[in-house]
Amino acid sequence: MEKAHDPKDLDLTASGRGVWLVKVPKYLSEKWSNTRGGSELGRLKISRPKFVGAKQEVLFTLPEATVAGDSIPRDHKFAITKIGNQNLSVLSETGTNTEDSTTTVAITGKVIQRAECRPIAGDRYMELKKKALEMSNKPQMEVKVLDKAVVNYKPKANHAFNREWDLKKKEEGKRSRTDKDKVLEMLYNAFEKHQYYNVKDLVTITKQPITWLKEILKEICNYNMRAPHKNMWELKPEYRHYTAKEDDT
């Protein structure tokens, strides 16, 4: 930072030279940035005003080789504007000074004319505008038709949880409802052995569809919502037939 702000000599040798400040289209600046040094960029044709007070006409033509195979316009026209009270100069870095290895900064000219380089309407210009419009209207995302399957992902015909659900429904379908009194007898016998059961174990014991079993359990059992017997069923007090000692265990 200290070196960047060190005082430097400013070369004023060309400070009195008049230069034009010209705004060019983006396609021209991109074209010129890829052009080799020393190549011809184009030719200017400046016509004298036909009468006093009229603006001079300036035409700019690109070399044929520059526009070959491209749709950019070849012919352009300068729209001249006044400088007014502005005082504009062009600064440039002219390379490295071999004596002290520092960059030399110079004023390469004073702006005496401003202009805007505009393409002359024609077939090339209309083609350029057409392409620009197509690009601006092109969606960021688009649908593409694949000619073959994508190898990094293949959809499954049936997922594991679907197969498990189908098997569960199939097993339940095989179980037929037994008479309610018979189911109650099986439940009473089970609860004489243990005080608490989860519904999965009771389904295994009774071999009943779970919906039918739960319907009966709601009549004779309480469902525990708290620990230590959370999510388990036990007989309601009025249906218990085991001894007090068994109840405590």
107 three-class SS: strand
- Specify if 117 maps to a domain: yes
- Specify if 159 maps to a domain: no
Please indicate, yes or no, whether residues 119 and 14 belong to a single structural domain of this protein.
yes
| Degrees to nearest 5, angle at CA 57 with 54 and 59 | 170
Per the structure, the count of domains in the chain is 2
- Specify if 48 maps to a domain: yes
Residue with tokens 């919502």: 225
Whole-model pTM above 0.85?
Answer: no
- Which of left, alpha, beta for 224 (phi over 0: left; psi -120 to 50: alpha)? beta
Please indicate, yes or no, whether residues 19 and 127 belong to a single structural domain of this protein.
yes
Q: Are 107 and 90 in contact (CB under 8 A)?
A: yes
CATH number for 189 = 1.10.10.10
Q: Are 47 and 56 in contact (CB under 8 A)?
A: yes
| Degrees to nearest 5, angle at CA 94 with 93 and 95 | 100
Q: Which of 80, 102, 134 is the last residue of a domain?
A: 134
Which token pair is 60? 């700019």
Please indicate, yes or no, whether residues 121 and 226 belong to a single structural domain of this protein.
no
Please indicate, yes or no, whether residues 113 and 200 belong to a single structural domain of this protein.
no
Please indicate, yes or no, whether residues 128 and 180 belong to a single structural domain of this protein.
no
Query: Per-residue confidence of the chain (249 residues) as pLDDT tens digits?
Result: 455 556 778 889 999 999 999 999 999 999 888 888 888 999 999 998 888 877 789 999 999 888 887 878 999 999 988 888 889 999 988 665 555 556 788 999 999 999 999 999 888 888 888 888 888 888 888 888 888 877 666 566 666 777 777 777 666 656 678 899 999 999 999 999 999 999 999 999 998 988 999 999 999 999 999 989 999 999 999 988 655 444 444
Residue 180 half-sphere exposure, CB side, CA atoms within 13 Å? Answer: 9
Please indicate, yes or no, whether residues 24 and 93 belong to a single structural domain of this protein.
yes
Q: Supply the range of the domain harboring residue 120.
A: 10-134
Please indicate, yes or no, whether residues 115 and 199 belong to a single structural domain of this protein.
no
Residue 197 DSSP class:
B
220 three-class SS: helix
Please indicate, yes or no, whether residues 223 and 120 belong to a single structural domain of this protein.
no
